[in-house]
Homo-oligomer: A and B are copies of this chain.
Amino acid sequence: MKLFLASISTARIRAKSVTDALTEDYVARASRYISCATQFHDSEIALLTWLERVAARTVPVLILLDSRGKQLSSDDFAEHLIRLRDSGVQSVILAVGPPDGWSPLARARADLLLSFGLITLPHNLARLLLAEQVYRAFTILAGHPYHSGH
C-alpha cells in the first residue's frame, strides 16, 4: 500500500510553509514502515483529475481532512489504515483541503471525511499534523515506543 499526503495549495500558501521541513521529516520517518509521499495540487479539480488517472490502474481510497468529519483517536486512525492495507487497498490519498474547505463534489467522492478536532488550523499546520499522525500510526502498529512515550 502506498500513502499520498496531498495538499490543495496555491503558490501563495506554499511559499509560506515554514513547517515543510518538519512535515518532510515525519514523512521520511513514516517511510521506514510504509511507502509514503507528499504531493501538492493547485486546485481541488487537479487532485480529482489526478485521482481519476490513478483509478484507471487501481482503486484508490480518498480520505479528506475536514474538521466536521469523523473524529478518530491516534489508535483508531492506525487501526483504520491497517484495515485498508489488509483489505488489499493499494493507494490511499490523505488530503488537506483548500482554505475555504472541500466542495460537495470532493466530499461526495471521499471514502472518509476525517477530523483531527473541531479547531481550525492553518494549512501548513494541518499538513504537519497529518504527517505526524501517519508516522505515529505506523509506530503504534509496529509497537515502537514513540506513541506511548509521549
A contact set with B: CB distance below 8 Å: 18-19, 22, 67, 71-74, 76-77, 99, 115-123, 125, 128-129, 132-133, 136, 147, 149-150
Contact = CB atoms under 8 A, between A and B. Distances in A.
A74 B68 CA distance: 13
Given A18-B22, A22-B18, A22-B19, A73 B121 contact: no
Number of chain copies forming the complex: 2
Contacts of A119: 72-74, 77, 116-117, 129, 133
A14 B131 CA distance: 21
The 4 tightest CB contacts between A and B, nearest first, are: A117-B117, A73-B118, A74-B120, A116-B117
A19 to B, nearest CB: 7
Contact of A121 (B67, B118, B122, B150): B150
A88 to B, nearest CB: 27
A128 B128 CA distance: 11
Given A99-B150, A149-B99, A121 B132 contact: yes
Contacts of A72: 118-119
15 contacts: A18-B22, A19-B19, A67-B73, A74-B119, A74-B120, A99-B149, A115-B117, A120-B136, A121-B129, A121-B132, A122-B132, A123-B150, A125-B128, A125-B129, A129-B129
A53 to B, nearest CB: 29
Nearest to A123: B150
